[in-house]
Amino acid sequence: MRSFLFALSFLVLGTAAKAQIFPQVSIKTLDGQTVDASTIEHDGPVVVSFWATWCSPCKKELEALNEYYIDLQDETNVLVIAVSIDDPRTASTVGVEVNSRGWEYDVYLDTNSDLRRTMGVNNVPHTMVYNKSGELVYTSNKYNPGDEIHLMEVIREAAE
């Protein structure tokens, strides 16, 4: 019984270390595979950026974030997830956009906007930062050049 409780405590602690950020909603990868968003886990801070190919501020923010991403990953273990809300008519251009810009982070498609609606996103750009406990610590629905400096500070604090 004692070893069972010991093993159970590790299971509970292990589960608590990876907080669930996303609801159970289907999204797609750029190669068309369906993913249950609730299965996406990470043991560090997570940045979720809702964007669209027709949104110039969205692309500027993701471009700015990409410039710091590799160094920031090494420093903070951050995971950046870009969720395109392009509808089925424009979703085919998302992969082209991502490849032409060389974005290093994970990009998903939410063509039916289920994830967007479930997470309370009304417009883009909409960026959220979760700390390593899975708590929402920052949200923004605009981007101006230079805002990425503040976002980097938020990510560093979320990693502590």
Whether 20 maps to a domain, the answer reads no
Whether 84 maps to a domain, the answer reads yes
Would the pTM count as exceeding 0.75?
Answer: yes
Whether the per-residue pLDDT at 140 is higher than 80: the answer is yes
Range of the domain at 116: 26-159
Identify whether the C-beta of residue 54 lies closer than 8 Å to the C-beta of residue 93: no
Predicted local distance difference test score (pLDDT) of residue 19:
66
Whether 10 maps to a domain, the answer reads no
**For residue 20, what pLDDT band results from cuts at 50, 70 and 90?**
confident
Whether 18 maps to a domain, the answer reads no
CATH number at residue 113: 3.40.30.10
Number of domains, the chain: 1
**For residue 83, what pLDDT band results from cuts at 50, 70 and 90?**
very high
Whether 7 maps to a domain, the answer reads no
Whether 77 maps to a domain, the answer reads yes
Whether 89 maps to a domain, the answer reads yes
pLDDT tens-digit series, residues 26-70: 999 999 999 999 999 999 999 999 999 999 999 999 999 999 999
